[in-house]
């Protein structure tokens, strides 16, 4: 009878994959000296000899088929033992989570097909079922490259990062990569790698791991020695490659999804940095910047989070005179950018993002002197909001008219 999924525990994650039914010889012949592999004084058999206990597999060993593989995600070590009939069936894969290394692994059978349920009733994140043993081992290998990236080539590092990025969209893998021991080398690559592709991809891994994953964000910021916000901001300021800059901004956007990290962003003059970079950014960066500002500082949910933090004694107070630029400075910057959108080659999609953020600013700071519109902008807005005598529904059905409809809907916000 198969053990139910309720036997899972959340702790140091270890993944076990049942490969096949075949059982290797339990009593292999003795190896000759020519079959030994030696690194300095450390020697071991060229052929991995499985037993009934898990043993570490070295990367240059020949491994027989039909074993039980175990991957400790925290250490990155691959282990295997003899696969016996009670360990696996033809139709399923076994997954085990071990609270700590001293406890014995309990195999949990799961028939196919099984829907993924990443969150258990108690809120713990369950490990997903891997599509193959190779996927789990690729994850381990990629983490090893990340931890020792100075020993690997540019192409090897890039390959490892792309492999991680492909997996971390799963909240379980995103949580593993967001451990401080992995975030630290990722930030090093973002800030110091001479290759823009590596800088860009490392930032993408961080952003993807943190996206919609509050536990991952909490993990990434749990060690004060890992300067997540500070490093992303400084990297954003000095980045010269447009693609890398956009992805660092993406990572930063995901990193400031909690009241504490948003407060740090503000006190480190994050808005001032965005204000300056916005002026000289390309179309993609301008659009993403507008989204970052609206989502994190003008969104009602985010503002409510900050109020809760204040009531609980958290430090979220932002003093523009002390900590940098006031968000209201973006009113004139957004308006000027919209007026110059044709000359700057800004397409309708980006204009919509800017106008959406501008409208949110007007809504939040309605009537404030720093958000007073110029006559030139009001003339542009009136032109956009003019439906030409047509009905709203007719314009809406034409397509590619979102900016005009947004101007019509929000005209009253601009006195």
Chain segment 193-242, per-residue pLDDT in tens? 999 999 999 999 999 999 999 999 999 999 999 999 999 999 999 999 99
- CATH 1.25.10.10 segments of the chain: 130-255
Q: What is the pLDDT of residues 373-415, one digit of tens each?
A: 999 999 999 999 999 888 888 888 777 789 999 999 999 999 8
Q: So what's the pLDDT on residue 157?
A: 96
Stretch 275-304: mean pLDDT: 86
* CA gap 150, 359 in Å, rounded: 47
* pLDDT score of 116 more than 50: no
Run of H or E including 255: helix 242-255
Q: Minimum mean pLDDT among 55-64, 93-102, 142-151, 340-349: which range?
A: 93-102
Assess contact for 234 and 253: CB atoms under 8 A.
Answer: no
318-357 pLDDT per residue, tens: 555 445 568 899 999 999 999 999 888 899 999 999 999 9
Confidence of residue 11 (pLDDT cuts 50, 70, 90): very low
| Share of residues in the chain with pLDDT > 90 (%) | 50
Counting beta carbons within 10 angstroms of the beta carbon of residue 402, is it exposed (0 to 12), middle (13 to 18) or buried (19 or more)? Answer: middle
First to last CA, the chain: 72
Q: Please tell me the distance from the alpha carbon of residue 126 to that of residue 120, in angstroms, as a whole number.
A: 7
Element (H, E) at 251: helix 242-255
The yes-or-no verdict on residue 170 having pLDDT over 70 is: yes
Helices (H), 133-241: 133-147, 154-167, 171-177, 180-192, 196-210, 214-220, 228-238
Ranking 123-127, 157-161, 331-335 by mean pLDDT, the lowest is: 123-127
So what's the pLDDT on residue 71? 63
In SS3 terms, 214-250 reads as: HHHHHHHCCCCCCCHHHHHHHHHHHCCCHHHHHHHHH
Report the CATH number of the 130-255 domain.
Answer: 1.25.10.10
The residue ranking higher by pLDDT, 107 or 231, is: 231
């Amino acid at each position: 009878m198969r053990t139910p999924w309720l036997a899972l525990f959340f702790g140091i994650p270890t993944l076990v994959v049942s490969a096949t039914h075949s059982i290797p010889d339990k009593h292999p012949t003795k190896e000759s000296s020519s079959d030994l592999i030696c690194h300095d004084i450390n020697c071991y058999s060229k052929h991995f000899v499985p037993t009934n206990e898990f043993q570490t597999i070295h990367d240059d060993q020949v491994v027989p088929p039909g074993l039980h593989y175990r991957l400790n995600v925290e250490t990155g070590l691959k282990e295997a033992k003899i696969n016996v009939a009670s360990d696996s069936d033809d139709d399923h894969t076994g997954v085990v989570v071990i609270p700590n290394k001293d406890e014995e692994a309990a195999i949990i059978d799961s028939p196919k097909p099984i829907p993924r349920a990443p969150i258990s009733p108690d809120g713990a994140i369950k490990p997903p079922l891997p599509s193959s043993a190779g996927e789990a081992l690729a994850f381990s290998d990629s983490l090893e490259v990340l931890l020792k990236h100075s020993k690997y080539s540019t192409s090897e590092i890039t390959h490892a990062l792309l492999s991680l990025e492909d997996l971390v969209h799963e909240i379980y893998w995103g949580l593993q990569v967001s451990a401080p021991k992995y975030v630290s080398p990722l930030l090093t690559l973002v800030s110091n790698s001479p290759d823009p592709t590596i800088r860009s991809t490392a930032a993408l891994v961080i952003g993807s791991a943190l996206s919609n994953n509050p536990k991952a964000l909490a993990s990434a910021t749990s060690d004060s020695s890992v300067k997540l916000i500070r490093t992303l901001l400084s990297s954003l300021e000095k980045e010269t490659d447009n693609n890398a800059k956009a992805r660092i901004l993406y990572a930063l956007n995901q990193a400031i999804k909690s009241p504490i990290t948003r407060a740090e962003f503000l006190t480190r003059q994050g808005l001032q940095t965005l204000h300056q970079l916005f002026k000289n950014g390309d179309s993609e960066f301008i659009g993403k910047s507008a989204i970052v500002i609206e989502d994190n500082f003008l969104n009602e949910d985010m503002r409510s989070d900050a109020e809760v933090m204040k009531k609980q004694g958290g430090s979220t107070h932002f003093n523009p005179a002390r900590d940098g630029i006031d968000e209201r400075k973006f009113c004139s910057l957004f308006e000027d950018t919209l007026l110059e959108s044709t000359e700057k080659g800004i397409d309708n999609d980006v204009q919509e993002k800017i106008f959406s953020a501008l409208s949110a600013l007007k809504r939040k700071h309605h009537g404030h002197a720093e958000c007073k519109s110029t006559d030139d902008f009001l003339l542009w807005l009136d032109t956009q909001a003019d439906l030409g005598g047509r009905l709203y529904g007719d314009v809406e059905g034409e397509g590619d008219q979102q900016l005009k409809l947004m101007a019509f809907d929000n005209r009253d916000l601009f006195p």
